[in-house]
Structure 1
């Protein structure tokens, strides 16, 4: 094989990769366990969080206890250093909660892969179920680079352990609010639902509308372990999808709890300094780019490996 032919084959391989469509789109949620500014300022914690967030196109952190809003800039700086300036942007909810204890939901997202369109804090005032949520969901709406799924709504929840059953059930009301407000049915519910290990009894699942009703598909089962400690095995953190389009784009087997202890080479003690939860994530198979799907080139372009390939933008 001559060098010109070899170069042509390499160029053809690169072209075929480009034509294969956009890479899978990964969304995650992570209970970062009382993440305040002093914890985020630790090099080891910030470095681990940066590597965890950078796995995802959108990652929403929960249990951010940050009254002065210092965590988000610290983590954005770490992400800028790791992935390049401006690779990620962030959006924080206001402090949410009852009494003096408040938490934020904080989204980190790649603006080249997801465009933030709108957001709202769910108004927890359903006439039959008022003030269900300890921390109301901070709902976001993103434009995605896909003709198959141009929009996606995310609903994160950090449920209070003693009210997990009621809060998970009330996510059905949030879904109806999303449909009324935006006319949108493609929704991902994700986060620390405290969905197991005594907080939701197995005999009670059939009373929970988010589990029982047809639009909702639970991507992580009751056997999932999303806890860091080796002494526990609990399916606290979940991902639930609604909407025919989004359900059809879920990459089989991609929903998982991400074991960052093993992947980052940490001891259990080091991992617990980051969180006692593992992040949960799922991938969606998006098949386009901003501005619409790519059109395949003419056959002549595939056959003419020389100047035609070298002239590609």
Structure 2
């Protein structure tokens, strides 16, 4: 009886101490050396990123790599209770304009198991020589022992506004390829998909396989607002999951935009200096058995 009581107490302690793993995606809007040198902007970014166990950062325009190194270095100083690392994509873009995807993650919680830069491919059609994506998806497979979902596949994407619906539809093919490559049905697609307002149409939605296939769960709904400007209300940024295991791992009601303007009491101009997008986030349930073993 005494042993059972001790184990029960340990379980309760682990349960209370363990928070859900928070997965985030944030279009930081032209993140480079200018923003990295702005102390107020960096202060807000550090508070946002320290909330996340892993965050897909988009619109990184940092050709020399200095801004991202400075950001992660400052993040490790800001949040001394955790250790952060990052993994980055190639510089992507059809012409001279280039961006990178960067996953910033807590390396004491997650480890990178594999990564895959989706190759550049031409769009189908006799007269269409454009590539399928303006910025090809960057896929990272994390090992996550502290969550119920131990094998976490994240497909990061920032679509071009002009071809958002076509690119969203093509993400269906990306998922299928990743599913075959890594032999998993469980994955999360996340990022600024420009999946709202003037970039989508009712008729066009029907042709987006990512949308029409009920096996894909859109956790950020059409009614959400992921934009900073008060005059806009659009769910541009999304989190989509596929697979029974990951769907069952999602904490109900946790998927939402994080309104840093309101939470950090910023003016609209102060918030826009950081980004014109809010991050989107979702929590995954913790693995209490692993945490209990760690305690023992």
Which of 109, 114, 120 aligns to 2:116? It is 120
Note if contact 1:21-1:287 (Cα within 8 Å) is conserved in structure 2.
no
Instruction: State the 1:293 CA deviation.
Output: 6.5
Instruction: State the 1:103 CA deviation.
Output: 0.1
Which of 69, 74, 81 aligns to 1:78? It is 74
Matches of 2:288 and 2:104 in 1, distance apart? Answer: 22
Matches of 1:124 and 1:215 in 2, distance apart? Answer: 27
Matches of 2:288 and 2:14 in 1, distance apart? Answer: 10
Partner of 1:240: 240
Pair 1:294 & 2:292 matched: yes
Partner of 1:105: 101
Matches of 1:73 and 1:19 in 2, distance apart? Answer: 34
Partner of 1:155: 155
Note if contact 1:41-1:74 (Cα within 8 Å) is conserved in structure 2.
no
Matches of 1:50 and 1:75 in 2, distance apart? Answer: 8
CA shift in 2, pair 1:38/1:15, >3 Å: same
Instruction: State the 1:167 CA deviation.
Output: 0.5
Matches of 1:40 and 1:87 in 2, distance apart? Answer: 20
Instruction: State the 1:15 CA deviation.
Output: 6.0
Instruction: State the 1:203 CA deviation.
Output: 2.5
**What TM-score do the two structures reach when normalised by structure 2?**
0.90
Residue 292 of structure 2 aligns to a residue in which SS? coil
Partner of 2:198: 198
Matches of 1:78 and 1:295 in 2, distance apart? Answer: 32
Instruction: State the 1:188 CA deviation.
Output: 0.7
Alignment of 1:1-313 (within 5 A): 16-19=12-15, 22-84=18-80, 87-125=83-121, 128=124, 131-146=131-146, 148-288=148-288, 292=290, 294=292
Instruction: State the 1:80 CA deviation.
Output: 1.3
CA shift in 2, pair 1:293/1:267, >3 Å: closer
Matches of 1:66 and 1:112 in 2, distance apart? Answer: 26
Note if contact 1:137-1:155 (Cα within 8 Å) is conserved in structure 2.
yes
Note if contact 1:76-1:89 (Cα within 8 Å) is conserved in structure 2.
yes
Note if contact 1:91-1:108 (Cα within 8 Å) is conserved in structure 2.
yes
Cα-to-partner distance string for 1:164-198 (whole Å, 9 max, x where unaligned): 00000010111011112111221111110001111
Note if contact 1:179-1:185 (Cα within 8 Å) is conserved in structure 2.
yes
Matches of 2:97 and 2:137 in 1, distance apart? Answer: 16
Cα-to-partner distance string for 1:2-55 (whole Å, 9 max, x where unaligned): xxxxxxxxxx96762215684211100000011111211211111111111111
Matches of 1:283 and 1:113 in 2, distance apart? Answer: 14
Note if contact 1:261-1:268 (Cα within 8 Å) is conserved in structure 2.
yes
- The number of residues matched between the two structures is 286
Matches of 1:288 and 1:59 in 2, distance apart? Answer: 23
Larger radius of gyration: 1
Note if contact 1:28-1:279 (Cα within 8 Å) is conserved in structure 2.
yes
Residue 198 of structure 2 aligns to a residue in which SS? coil
- Give ranges in structure 1 of 5+ residues lacking alignment: 1-11, 297-311
